[in-house]
Structure 1
Amino acid sequence: MKMERLSQDKIRIFLTFDDLTERGIHKDDMWREIPKVHELFSEMMDQAYMELGFDATGPLAVEVLAMPAQGMMVIVTRGKMNFSHGEDAIDEDLEEVYELEVTMDETDQVTYAFHDFEDLLRMAKVINPLLTNGGTLYSYKNKWILLLDAADMEDKQLQLIVAVLSEYGEATSVTQAMLEEYGKTVIESDAVKVLCAKF
C-alpha cells in the first residue's frame, strides 16, 4: 500500500492486488458493503494519518479506480464540516467520523514505469509479438512510462503481458491525464513496435 498527499485535503492511495489478497478481498468486493472493505478503509485512514498527517474526520469523498493489472487507486478528498447549524450539528459531525460519498470507476489502461531505457527495450522485444497496439510512451519524473490499452486484450494475453511488464518494470498508478499534463510524450502510438524497429 503506497500513499501520497496531493493537497492539504486530498490523498491518493495505491493498493496492489497483493494488498487486497492479503486481506481476503477480491477486486469485485470493493464495490460491495462488507466488513472486510470497511476494515481496509479504516486501516488506510489510520496509515494516512500516521504517514501523512491526514485527518479523515468529517465528510469524505472517495474515488476508487480499478486498473486491470496494477490494482486499485483510491483518492480520498476531505470535505469541510458544516458548522452553520449550531452546537447540536457540531456534536453530530464529530460523532460520525466517516461520512462517505464513494464513486467507483474502472479503466482498461495498464501503466508501467521503467527506470532504465535498456529494461524498456528488453521488455519491448519480448512483448512485441503479443501486442496488436503498442501503446504510448511517456517520460515522467526521470522514468519511462508505458501506457497500454487492455480493452481488446483477452484475459490470458493480458496476464502474459503483465507478467513480462512486471519482470522489467513496476506498476504505477499515474494516470494518462497526469502524464499528458506533466510528462512528455515520447512515442504517441504503437510505442512497443516503434522501439523494436528503431533500436
Structure 2
Amino acid sequence: MRVEKIAKNKIRIFVSYEDLASRGIERDEMFQNGKKVQELFWDMMEVAYAEVGFEMIGPIAVEAFTMPSEGVVIIVTQVPSLPVPGSLSELTDEPEMERDPYDSFVFSFADFEDVVRVGKALAQIEDLDCRLYVYRKTYHVFFPDDSLSERVYDTVWSILHEYGELVNVTRAMLDEYGTLVSEHALDMLRTFFEL
C-alpha cells in the first residue's frame, strides 16, 4: 500500500493486488461494502494519517478504480461542509444551474508527467479524443462534448480526477490565450511515449 498527498484535502492510495490477496480480498470484492473492505479502508486511513498527516474530519468522497496490472487506486477527498443558512430568508427558490455531465470539460495538470500518466491510463479506451493546451504555465486537456460515450464516462472522469483538477476554462479561452500543443493529444502521447 502506498499513500500520496495530492492536495491539501485529497490523497491517492495505491493498493496492489498482492495487498488485497494478503487480506483475503478478491478483486471483485473491492467494490462491495463488505467487512474486509471496511477494515482495509480504516487501515488505509490510519496509514494516510501516519504517513502524510491526512486526517479524516467531516464528509469525504471516495473514488476507486482498477489499474489492470497495478492494483486499485483510491482517491479520498475531504468535502467542505455546506454552510447552514441562519434564517429561512437566506434560502432562495431559484434553481441552481446544473452542469450536464456530458458537456465539454477541461482538466488542468501541474506538470507534463501527469499528462503522460493520464495518456497511459486512457490508452486502452478507443475513440477518445482531446486537445492539449498550455495556458498560464499549466497543461490543460479539453474534451469536447461528443468525445465520451456514457459507457466510459465514469472511468475517464476518475482517471482525470486522479492526476488533475477540473477547471472552469472554456475552449474559446484556451484557443485565444493558450498555446495549442496537439489537436489529438492522446494520439500524440501514444506516438511519442509508447503508451
TM-score of the superposition, structure 2-length normalised? Answer: 0.48
**Higher-strand-fraction structure:** 1
**Higher-helix-fraction structure:** 1
